[in-house]
A and B are shown apart, each in its own frame.
Chain A
Amino acid sequence: MTQPIDFRRRGILRASGVSLLSASAVALMAGCEKMAVAQTSNPAADVGILNTALGLENEAISAYQLGATSGLLQKPVLEIAVLFQTHHKEHRDALIATIRKLGGTPVAAKSDAEVAQALNAASLKSQTDVLRLAQRLEKGAANAYIGVIPSFGDKALAQVSARLAADEVMHWTVLSQALKDPLPAKALSFGA
């Protein structure tokens, strides 16, 4: 029997936890920037992949902004949405730094209004609607990060892609628990 996660009991919103994640995420990407410059044989191709990832992160930041300001989210879900948006901002910042290190130009973010239209945000009428959208986007992002791994020229960047996917899966899992969805019955449910 699957039990929903008790967010407060697990203490996942503690400020100290946020700080630790931020520091380790930034350290990871900072380390990979140096490796990427030295190892990748085709930086332009890797920059293309990273820019696509940046587009995903920008969209996620806007989506969580739309959710957080919709008036539809209640505590503690609202706090979780803001925390997850913070994660995506850290992903974005690390991707921008890595793209620049590789000599590329980061893609510009679309406006929140453009994202709202693309995601049909006007159709969101309840907290469940917002959670379902976030859940769908997180799963799509995780699968996108998994699906581009074979295309990286630099294995260190492929590893970063796997770690970004792990963050998105963590988000998906928490959102699924908040929605009281059952966990996947079979293994290897992502990337499949």
Chain B
Amino acid sequence: MIVKSLASAALAALALGMTAPVQAADAAHGQELYESRCGGCHSLDSNRVGPAHRGVFGRKAGAAPGFNYSPAVKNSTVVWEEKTLDAWLTNPQALIPGQRMNFRVATAEDRADIIAYLRRQSGR
């Protein structure tokens, strides 16, 4: 009976996996999104309205050299990786109250692609 239940569960999981495959993040699409949506304020290698992004993945928040951060971001203990970047792009104010970015990316797939691009540009 137990074996039968486990087998059914395994089949169900397999079926779910087949019908709803997990999409790998697309860094190339992330580059397009980064240039069109983030490029108004950010560059990889220059501090502009927002800080330079090369090397951001794995870096502590508020640590891009030479950028004038809000006190909220400067004093944050957040480290940028998948989960924190996803939360940041979903709603920056919810992650670090008092920040100054406020730009939101509505869809999870787009956020994942942008994060994949930033990760690649950070050599991670």
Residues of A within 8 A of B (CB): 45, 48-49, 51-52, 55-56, 59, 117-120, 136-137, 139-144, 147-148, 150-151, 191
Q: Which residue of A is nearest B39, CB measured?
A: A140
CA distance A169 to B43 in the complex (A): 21
Which residues does chain A contribute within 8 Å of B35, judged by CB atoms?
136, 140
List residues of B whose CB falls within 8 A of some A CB.
35-41, 43, 46-49, 70, 91-93, 98-106
Contact B47 A151 (CB under 8 A): no
The answer to whether B103 touches A148 (Cβ under 8 A) is yes
Which residue of B has the minimal Cβ distance to A110?
B48
Are A56 and B102 touching (Cβ within 8 A)?
A: no
Using a Cβ cutoff of 8 Å, how many contacts connect chains A and B? 70
In-complex Cβ contact of A52 among B37, B38, B41, B93 (8 A): B41
Whether B102 pairs with A49 at a CB distance below 8 angstroms is yes
Instruction: Please list the 10 inter-chain residue pairs (A to B) with the smallest Cβ-Cβ separation, ordered nearest first.
Output: A140-B40, A144-B40, A151-B102, A55-B49, A118-B46, A140-B39, A147-B103, A48-B100, A141-B40, A143-B37
Query: Are B46 and A150 within 8 A (Cβ)?
Result: no
* Docked pose: A49 CA to B36 CA in angstroms: 19
A sample of 13 cross-chain residue pairs with beta-carbon separation below 8 angstroms, ordered by A number, consists of A48-B70, A48-B100, A49-B100, A49-B102, A52-B100, A52-B102, A56-B49, A120-B46, A139-B39, A143-B36, A144-B103, A151-B91, A151-B102
Asked whether B100 lies within 8 Å of A56 as measured between CB atoms, the reply is no
* Chain A residue with the shortest CB-CB distance to B105: A147
Q: What residues on A are CB-neighbors of B106 within 8 Å?
A: 150
Contact of A140 with B102 in the complex, beta carbons under 8 Å:
no
Nearest chain A residue, comparing its CB with the CB of B41: A144
| A148 and B104 contacting across the interface, CB-CB below 8 Å | yes
Q: Which residues of B contact A55 (CB under 8 A)?
A: 41, 49
